[in-house]
Chain A
Amino acid sequence: MSYTHKYRRDDDCKVDENRNKGSLRWSHCRKRGADGSVRGPQREAESTQSSSKREHRPQRPESFTTPESEGPVSRIRNWGDEVEADEMRTSVRRDMQRYRRRILAGEFVQRERKTSSGSSDSRDSRDSPAPGDIETDETVLMRRQKQINYGKNTLAYDRYIKEVPKHLRKPGIHPRTPNKFKKYSRRSWDQQIKLWKVKLHAWDPPAEEGSDLQAVEDFDFDMECSVDPEIELQYPKSTSASSSLPQDSCTGTPSKMMKLDELEIA
């Protein structure tokens, strides 16, 4: 069970010129793939082929020279990175098995299409795909999982899941993690992720003590309204707050309310 990253051995490495050039050409602008290797267009084409090919891929050269470096730079494979990639890979595989079982068990019920204003998914997100029709490409799944992890490693997400248990979620209002096993185009997926993360911001923690609250207290509110306790409740829901600001608090001071809005977003 040797994976793509064989650790450097004392055996010979075959120098594969084309591959080396490919990864060099793109090494400036392409991110590293989930397995730590620098991604280039060649690799993406290769990755759609069967994974068994990976095991027979010749060893990548141990050093290369880029225009910026003064000499050969060794390809550093870091155990820490490799193990983390390993971990993500095994998690993704385990998720896939679980998902397959759930589809086969018919757990996903076809619900009626409701007009959901917040749905970022043009395909009905509640239909379950056929078991053969799920995304299985590991590179894609790893990339998607990484994006999901970025969103889940936030305070906003922590607060969200504490506040709203799964069974109480309302579609449209409560953000839903995009399903990495469904077939989507790259653009569609990236957009879903973006929208999901924006929605999660609604659960951002309140502004730190001192800074923003201070500024609010210094506000010269219109004489007609005293410091409205309701205003402090606005903070947890920041970006989507514009429509939900209380109409009745301070009249005649739309510019100041705008400032409040800006502060919340800050």
Chain B
Amino acid sequence: MDHIWEECKIQAFDSETQNLIKAALKDSSAVDLEKLSEAIVDQSLKDRSLCRDAGHICYALVQTEAKHSNTNVFRRNLLTRLQKEFVEREETRKRSVQEWVCVVSFICNIFDYLKVNNTPMTALVDPVYDCLFRLSQPDALLNEEEVDCLALQLHRVGEQLEKMNAQRMDQLFYLLRDGFLLQDNLSSMTRLLLLEVLEFRASGWTLSAAAQRYYYSEVVD
């Protein structure tokens, strides 16, 4: 795991946290892992790009700790904190949609990266679904920010989620389809995102070349 921090975007963390991360990756016992996990979560939830990518670093830290001292302090703390954020999500959403979107992105990112014996954590499956269901409610579909988050997460973890609970995925897509067809006041961007996601899943969580051209030809990288 040499210089994994170069692969991950840890520059977005403040310098103190960056140093802690580097130190922990060298020797996990040299660092207060509880404090580190708090710092990582705090900063990730405030930063749009971090919340989408912090999972990679977290995974590296979990692995290092397990290998080094066979303990799970970092992971346990991370999950406890995440659980707290999850439980308070409705209040968070009322306070700030941006923060709420970060919470969802972060939880999904952790779900994506922190695997247990190469399978995603079962404990997170329903919470992730709950978040996506919330994002599919009529009031949320009115916000492009939330729809964008929904689409992104489905692209990243949709397939894995479906494997772990297909029934809920079906139910989620009923909601999305209904929203797309029946809700009048959606923006055209929202409609486009929803349609793309519907097609994405229908073709087995992949985008055909034609669909790629259709949806992304106008997009400037």
Contact = CB atoms under 8 A, between A and B. Distances in A.
Nearest to A80: B76
Contacts of A78: 79-80, 83
Interface string A69-87: 0000000001110111011
B179 interface: no
B117 A7 contact: no
Contacts of A194: none
Contact of A5 (B75, B76, B77, B123): B123
Contacts of A7: 123, 125-127, 130
B124 interface: yes
A6 B82 CA distance: 17
A90 interface: yes
Contacts of B127: 7
B72 A3 contact: no
A3 B122 CA distance: 8
B80 A90 contact: no
B165 interface: yes
B119 interface: yes
Interface residues of A, number: 20
A3 B124 CA distance: 12
B195 interface: no
B130 A83 contact: no
B117 A87 contact: yes
A116 interface: no
B116 interface: yes
A86 B130 contact: no
A5 B122 CA distance: 9
Given A9-B130, A91-B117, A83 B163 contact: no
A80 B79 contact: yes
B121 interface: yes
A83 B83 contact: no
Nearest to B80: A80
B122 A82 contact: yes
B31 interface: no
A153 interface: yes
Nearest to A3: B122
Contacts of B79: 78-80, 83
A1 interface: yes
Interface size class of B (residues with CB under 8 A): 20 to 34
B164 interface: yes
Contacts of B72: 80, 84
Contact of B164 (A1, A87, A90, A94): A1
Interface string B100-119: 00000000000000001101
B70 A153 contact: yes
A82 B163 contact: no
Interface in A71-122: 78-80, 82-84, 86-87, 90-91, 94
Contacts of B130: 7, 9-10
A79 B123 CA distance: 6
Interface in A1-33: 1-3, 5-7, 9-10
Given A7-B123, A80-B75, A153-B70, A87 B83 contact: no
A87 B125 CA distance: 15
A153 B79 CA distance: 23
Interface in B132-178: 163-165
Given A1-B122, A80-B83, A86-B122, 8 more contacts: A9-B130, A80-B72, A80-B75, A80-B77, A82-B122, A83-B75, A83-B121, A87-B116
20 contacts: A1-B163, A2-B165, A3-B122, A7-B123, A7-B125, A7-B130, A78-B79, A78-B80, A79-B80, A79-B124, A80-B72, A80-B79, A80-B83, A83-B123, A84-B76, A86-B116, A87-B116, A87-B117, A90-B119, A91-B117
Top 4 A-B residue pairs of the complex, sorted by shortest distance between their CB atoms: A82-B123, A7-B126, A80-B76, A79-B79
